[in-house]
Amino acid sequence: MRETELTASHLIQPLFVTAGAGVREDIPSMPGVQRLSIAELVEEAAGVRAAGIGSVLLFGIPAEKDELGSGAYDEEGIVQMAIRALKESDPGLTVIADTCMCEYTSHGHCGRLRDDGTVDNDSSLELLARTALSQAEAGADAVAPSDMMDGRIAAIRGRLDEEGLTETPGISYSAKYASAFYGPFRDAADSTPAAGDRRGYQMDPANVLEAIRESKLDLDEGADMLMVKPALPYLDVVHRVKEATGAPLAAYHVSGEYSMLKAAAGAGWIDERAAALEALTSIRRAGADAIITYYAKDAANWLDE
């Protein structure tokens, strides 16, 4: 009589790839998560697949950063090389590339900066389109723009179509909030803004109608799947967006949500397995078709027991 199903097929595992060789670097604020060099990434992805998970979301940490985040669209960039290695090792693995600038820019923002330090939305679209194209050409099965620049879905879709990559889907971070729950991720990706914050282009946590408008706009621009980020503090948004659009919908169970469960479990205050599975089930119950979570591999193994 259970109404909501949670299986490994609903889960997507985020992975961090970094420059170097032989790297398995623990992220202190995200217990159990590591930065991995390419060979180690391929090994970790094999473990993810063995757990029954078919998809990974890839984030890159380059050796060097610059003002324009050129490592994001370099054909020999860390993510592009990692995509090729993953697809060569396991062609059946669905590799989703996070499409953004913040991990690659020296200032930590998600686009090109004006002289006054604010992000120039329109001139950033070309850089994002170049990034998505380079990821798709490297073999990414889908691109996932997470920058929240207005018009970036149309820009990316247009560039991919011009280059004959009409079958590469776009997973839009359509409702990404200016949340306090991203801190551990910014440690992992070394992407904390050097100055200011991202409230100018990410969404106000108080707004839900805006999330519906943004999601519908992204569908109009050619998005194939929508996303709400974070997940647990925004279950109402997940539900409202799914109800309003009927489109395929992912929710991102973000680093802060993951690390809070880890911390409470480490202190002996909660049963980690039960709490994590309850949290993920609640995201599915709200309406998410897919869940991006650092618990993916563990949750798949727990569900299989």
Q: Which of 176, 242, 262, 297 is catalytic?
A: 176
**Does 262 qualify as catalytic in the annotation?**
no
Residue 256, phi then psi, degrees to nearest 5: -65, -40
DSSP 22: S
What CA dihedral angle connects 132, 138, 143 and 144, to 10 degrees? -80
DSSP 6: -
DSSP codes, 85-152: HHHHH-TTSEEEEEE-STTTBTT--SSPBPTTS-B-HHHHHHHHHHHHHHHHHHT-SEEEE-S--TTH
- Tell me the C-alpha distance between 61 and 256, whole Å: 19
- Tell me the C-alpha distance between 118 and 114, whole Å: 6
Q: Which of 65, 229, 262, 297 is catalytic?
A: 229
**Does 176 qualify as catalytic in the annotation?**
yes
- Tell me the C-alpha distance between 231 and 250, whole Å: 9
Q: Which residues are catalytic?
A: 176, 229
